[in-house]
Amino acid sequence: MNVATKGKKVMVIDDNSGILFVMKEALQLKEYEVHTSETFTGLKDVETIAPDVMYLDISLVGQDGREVTRELKRNERTKNIPIIILTAYPNAEELAKEAGADGYLPKPFELERLWEMTAAFTSRSK
């Protein structure tokens, strides 16, 4: 039983269904409530879910994760949601900074690293 993480909401947006599947499986092991999407469907959906942390891919179909980040950070209701850039690009840190994200997780990652990072960011939210 993960008291600290139970019920905390994680939203993952990635255009690869395989990644969405493993993220969900891995995070559910720690009893997070995981919401996944292959595209960014708008601020409204994010506001509705109100995740404690978001994992966001850079290369989305027809969208750029950096632009999505900026849009979320500009919006009053979503600007405090921690956004972690999830990417296979080698310059993940640079991309995250450029987008104004709160962190980055390069693919492929160690499971322990995913859990540590998620725990760290969700523990900050109320």
Length reported for the chain: 126
- Record the tokens describing residue 74, joined without a space: 């500009």
Site for another protein in 102-121 (CB under 8 A): 107-111, 114
Q: Are 119 and 5 in contact (CB under 8 A)?
A: yes
Compute the distance between CA of residue 9 and CA of residue 35 in angstroms, rounded to an integer.
7
User: What is the closest distance, in whole angstroms, from the C-beta atom of residue 15 to another protein in the complex?
Assistant: 9
Q: Among the candidate windows 21-29, 37-45, 73-81, 116-124, which touches another protein by CB under 8 A?
A: 21-29
Q: Check binding of 18 to another protein (CB under 8 A).
A: yes
Q: Are 74 and 56 in contact (CB under 8 A)?
A: no
Q: Check binding of 89 to another protein (CB under 8 A).
A: yes
Q: Check binding of 22 to another protein (CB under 8 A).
A: yes
- Record the tokens describing residue 102, joined without a space: 């709160």
- Which CB atom, from 74 or from 113, has the smaller least distance to another protein? 113
The footprint of another protein (CB under 8 A) covers 16, 18-19, 21-23, 25-26, 29, 88-91, 107-111, 114
